[in-house]
Amino acid sequence: MALSRLASSSSRSADLLKPLCSAISLRRPISTDTTPITVETSVPFTSHQCDTPSRSVQTNAKELFTFFRDMALMRRMEIAADSLYKAKLIRGFCHLYDGQEAVAVGMEAAITKKDCIITAYRDHCTFVSRGGTLLEVFAELMGRQAGCSRGKGGSMHFYKKDSNFYGGHGIVGAQVPLGCGLAFAQKYSKDEAVTFALYGDGAANQGQLFEALNISALWDLPAILVCENNHYGMGTAEWRAAKSPAYYKRGDYAPGLKVDGMDAFAVKQACTFAKEHALKNGPIRGKSLSLVEAIKLTSSCSVCCAYMQILEMDTYRYHGHSMSDPGSTYRTRDEITGVRQERDPVERIRKLILSHDLATEKELKDIEKEIRKEVDDAIAQAKENPLPESSELFTNVYAKGLGVESFGADRKEVRAILP
């Protein structure tokens, strides 16, 4: 009797089912359950030149568990990278994303692999959300063959073109015009997809951003600029770098939305809204208008017809700017622990899962244990993976080398025909 009730009913009432749940493992039905659950975002959205999306977000148990698992995985991965860097297995620069996981996970939930994402150098988790594996991450960080860039890129240069993830960029701000270029190509190819170009509060003042924004608005490109505002550009707080740190308003004529970036559902809602706006008001709509209609339309609503928009994600990084930065000379430890206690994105989902009785604390801890093992296994595998072959020095300089010669440090001794 009880079992059939369990099998048929997808919602759980606390009293009856809890004791049974601990006796019988009900893992599978709960985590694939797609019965709608409505959650409220932490705070309402703030908008600039557009309407706000609703605070009520549709989700389900399956998505809640996916969010929890994905963010917990990212969290564990970044913490493991910290240890590897201190053990000198990772060299050079290493910029960690722990605290910001909700942006990567929420965005991915709102889009498809046809949509493009481009970001700066804090790219490990974005790579994973686009389908990258832990082995590819750790092997690349350690400069091994199994890395996503075969060991030649390093931490700041992860790519996954088959999932429309375009990197992984070291020069602050450069990824924004590049992202607008991706959007240009999507419109040009009539692809009905959009590009999310991510940048930080430090990059938000870059001139090239405004140049790209101007062109994107002028040419109606399906570009969505996403400012991951973690409030510090390396060691400089936003109020010391920007006259106006209201980044969602900085697009002037471009609509903007301010989002709680620590709330994966707020991120998902905002990205869904932005994508719809870009596609509905952009290339597809333009296609169905006659020339006269189009001219009338653009002249009558000069302000709100920009398809490209800005999403400002209010987020936070627990680590310093990079592993070379302690992160505590320009912020107080109280601030860091305060954010961790009040706004941690993983904890937020944990509380939602528990409050909706979708799992027990122990079950969630077990998931985290599994994740820990997954991460440890990937690291062990990556450590065994070999360094690139010497011949890799000269591969991929060009896509097509035309038989030209290239030289090593000693021109007489090390030379190669570029493949």
Partner 1 sequence: MLGIVRQKMLGQSLLKIRPAISVLRSYSSAAKQMTVREALNSALDEEMSADPKVFLMGEEVGEYQGAYKISKGLLEKYGPERVLDTPITEAGFAGIGVGAAYYGLKPVVEFMTFNFSMQAIDHIINSAAKSNYMSAGQMSVPIVFRGPNGAAAGVGAQHSQCYASWYASCPGLKVLSPYSSEDARGLLKAAIRDPDPVVFLENELLYGESFPVSDEVLDSSFCLPIGKAKIERKGKDVTITHGVGAEICASVVEESFAYLDAPVERIAGADVPMPYAANLERMAVPQVEDIVRAAKRACYRAVPLAAAA
Q: Which is nearer to partner 1, 206 or 360 (CB)?
A: 206
Tokens 């709509």 found at: 285
Find how far residue 130's CA is from the centre of its chain: 8
Q: Which residues contact 242 (CB under 8 A, 6 or more apart)?
A: 201, 204, 205
Q: Report in angstroms how near the CB of residue 406 gets to partner 1 at its nearest.
A: 4
**Is residue 417 near partner 1 by the rule CB under 8 A?**
no
**Is residue 384 near partner 1 by the rule CB under 8 A?**
no
Q: What is the DSSP letter of 219?
A: T
Which phi and psi (to 5°) does residue 226 adopt? -120, 110
Rule CB under 8 A: choose which of 99, 132, 222, 233 binds partner 1: 233
Distance (Å, rounded) from C-alpha 122 to C-alpha 233? 12
Q: Report in angstroms how near the CB of residue 93 gets to partner 1 at its nearest.
A: 6
**Is residue 409 near partner 1 by the rule CB under 8 A?**
yes
Cβ atoms 407, 414 nearer than 8 A: yes
Q: Which is nearer to partner 1, 42 or 93 (CB)?
A: 93
Q: Report in angstroms how near the CB of residue 113 gets to partner 1 at its nearest.
A: 26
Rule CB under 8 A: choose which of 100, 149, 230, 309 binds partner 1: 149
Q: Which is nearer to partner 1, 283 or 327 (CB)?
A: 327
Give the torsion through C-alpha atoms of 103, 304, 248, 78, to 10 deg.
20
**Is residue 169 near partner 1 by the rule CB under 8 A?**
yes
Rule CB under 8 A: choose which of 240, 280, 365, 369 binds partner 1: 240
Handedness of CA 100, 101, 107, 110 (dihedral sign): negative
Rule CB under 8 A: choose which of 370, 393, 417, 419 binds partner 1: 393
**What number of other Cβ atoms are within 10 A of residue 192's Cβ?**
14
Q: Report in angstroms how near the CB of residue 208 gets to partner 1 at its nearest.
A: 8
- Side chain identity at 43, as an amino acid letter? V
Alpha helices in 131-221 (DSSP H): 134-141, 175-188, 207-218
Give the torsion through C-alpha atoms of 146, 148, 154, 160, to 10 deg.
180
Distance (Å, rounded) from C-alpha 113 to C-alpha 123? 17
**Is residue 154 near partner 1 by the rule CB under 8 A?**
yes
Distance (Å, rounded) from C-alpha 26 to C-alpha 32? 11
- Side chain identity at 329, as an amino acid letter? T
Q: Report in angstroms how near the CB of residue 116 gets to partner 1 at its nearest.
A: 20
Rule CB under 8 A: choose which of 132, 173, 177, 283 binds partner 1: 173
Rule CB under 8 A: choose which of 10, 47, 133, 206 binds partner 1: 206
Q: Which is nearer to partner 1, 57 or 379 (CB)?
A: 379
| Segment near partner 1 (CB under 8 A); pick from 28-36, 66-74, 223-231, 403-411 | 403-411
Q: Report in angstroms how near the CB of residue 234 gets to partner 1 at its nearest.
A: 6
Distance (Å, rounded) from C-alpha 342 to C-alpha 351? 12
Q: Which is nearer to partner 1, 253 or 330 (CB)?
A: 330
Q: Which is nearer to partner 1, 44 or 170 (CB)?
A: 170
Distance (Å, rounded) from C-alpha 226 to C-alpha 107? 10
Listed residue (268, 310, 233) closest to 101, CA to CA: 268
**Is residue 394 near partner 1 by the rule CB under 8 A?**
yes
SS (H, E, C) 281-347: HCHHHHHHCCHHHHHHHHHHCCCCCCCCEEEEEECCCCCCCCCCCCCCCCCCHHHHHHHHHHHCHHH
Q: Report in angstroms how near the CB of residue 261 gets to partner 1 at its nearest.
A: 20
How many residues at the interface with partner 1, by CB under 8 A? 50
| Segment near partner 1 (CB under 8 A); pick from 31-39, 257-265, 269-277, 407-415 | 407-415
Q: Which is nearer to partner 1, 233 or 255 (CB)?
A: 233
**Is residue 392 near partner 1 by the rule CB under 8 A?**
yes
Q: Report in angstroms how near the CB of residue 122 gets to partner 1 at its nearest.
A: 14
Binding residues for partner 1, per CB under 8 A?
91-93, 140, 143-144, 149, 151-157, 169-173, 202-203, 205-208, 233-236, 240-242, 329-330, 387-388, 390, 392-394, 397, 406-414
